[in-house]
Amino acid sequence: MMASRMGLNRVRPKAIADASGRSGTALHQGLPFGAVMATAGASAVAGRCGLHILVVPLLVLAILQTLWLPVAGIWRRRATFRMECRAWWKLGPAHEHCGIHTVPLGLAVIAGGLVALAASGIARWPWPLAVACLVLTWVLTIVCLGRFLWSLVVCDCTLRMVGGAWFLVPAALLGAAIATDALAGFAPEAGATMLAALALAGALLGWAGYWVVALAALVRVWRFGLVGVPQAPWWIAMGCAGLAAAALGRVLKAPGSGWALHAFLVQAMVVTCIFAAILCVPVLVCSAAFLLRRCRFRAPAPWPPTFSTAVFALGCLETGDILQSPAFRSLGLAAGYATLLFWLVTMVWNVGHMGIDRFGDRAWGTDA
């Protein structure tokens, strides 16, 4: 017994040192608000697909996830949380600072949903919550974007580091722009002009950032393939293009924009949406190949496909409305229904996986 205790005491400092060396990685890596983005995106696309009965329940669930995920994360990592928080402020390679953009992006989609809910006249309580959520979205977007850009300057960055999660960086700007434009439509005249200008700037910066990341990703895939980076986040490459098209479509009627800017926004929207549609083919083919050849269905289902399909649907629907194009509308509706199916399957799978982890296989009627 004494020997075992001494052995435990010898091992414990090493474990603590290992935890210290890994501190901050839980905050740097991963997609902490992936479920929030997917649920809020499903809420937004449900309304555009005519399934209005699902809009409020999904939006409320996204808000509950926003509140629950940080609490659950802090509780699960309570032993090393203080150490990880200190480590979060230390800059690492750029790829470690991509996943955190799911937080402002998830809040942006929720803010847009709250604005739409308040504008429908069902209730007035979403207005202050929507404004607060939008302010927090922009604060976190600026902080996360600043950390990412500074990490590119300070730390070495190689082409192999570029992955699908990098598209979350411009996506955060695009999501904030869409939510801002939604709020601008109901603000007083002076505030509406300021919000519309902010939305336009965010949409243009996000659109330009998307093509910068897309070019780097294309070169990376051409030279090195997809080896060394997770597969699921590559869906975001398609989704972010759709999100960019949706953002450009929303800011087309920004006050003060002349015909030249209007024409540019329309052309950029169409080109970006077509590019998103083209990306659907390799994304679906590679995903099917991954599921059939390598996936063993033992891990939690990823959320990026659901969110990416949702914002791809929104981009196609926005483009279809502006161009009066039945083709884009049909593609958007198909992607919208696929989003709801992806969300249902992913949620059921992950809840079942959590149950197995929590209670064991026998609780689910399977052999241990």
pLDDT of residue 287: 84
pLDDT digits (tens, 9 = 90+) for 316-333: 999 999 999 999 999 999
* Model confidence band, residue 88 (pLDDT cutoffs 50, 70, 90): low
pLDDT of residue 363: 37
pLDDT of residue 124: 74
pLDDT digits (tens, 9 = 90+) for 281-290: 998 888 888 7
Contacts for 28 with CB less than 8 Å, ≥ 6 apart: 88, 92, 96, 97, 99, 100
Kindly list the structural domains of the chain, giving each domain's residue range(s) and its CATH number in brackets, ordered by start.
Answer: 30-76+90-352 (1.50.10.150)
Q: Comparing 230 with 333, which gets the higher pLDDT?
A: 333
Helix (H) or strand (E) holding 231: none
* Model confidence band, residue 91 (pLDDT cutoffs 50, 70, 90): confident
Say whether pLDDT at 14 is over 70: no
Say whether pLDDT at 225 is over 50: yes
pLDDT of residue 231: 81
* Residues 136-145, mean pLDDT to the nearest whole number: 96
Q: Which of 125-134, 145-154, 296-305, 310-319 has the lowest mean pLDDT?
A: 296-305
Say whether pLDDT at 16 is over 60: no
Exposed/middle/buried for residue 12 (C-beta within 10 Å: 0-12, 13-18, 19+): exposed
* Model confidence band, residue 296 (pLDDT cutoffs 50, 70, 90): low
Say whether pLDDT at 254 is over 60: yes
* Model confidence band, residue 167 (pLDDT cutoffs 50, 70, 90): very high
Q: Map tokens 């695009």 to a residue.
A: 174
d(CA 204, CA 148): 19
pTM (two decimals): 0.86
Say whether pLDDT at 23 is over 60: no
Say whether pLDDT at 5 is over 60: no
pLDDT of residue 365: 36
pLDDT of residue 74: 79
Percent of the chain with pLDDT over 70: 84
Q: Which of 234-248, 251-265, 352-366 has the lowest mean pLDDT?
A: 352-366
Token pair belonging to 79? 């032993």
* Model confidence band, residue 165 (pLDDT cutoffs 50, 70, 90): very high
Exposed/middle/buried for residue 293 (C-beta within 10 Å: 0-12, 13-18, 19+): exposed
pLDDT of residue 244: 97
Token pair belonging to 229? 């980076």
pLDDT digits (tens, 9 = 90+) for 55-81: 999 999 999 999 998 888 778 777 776
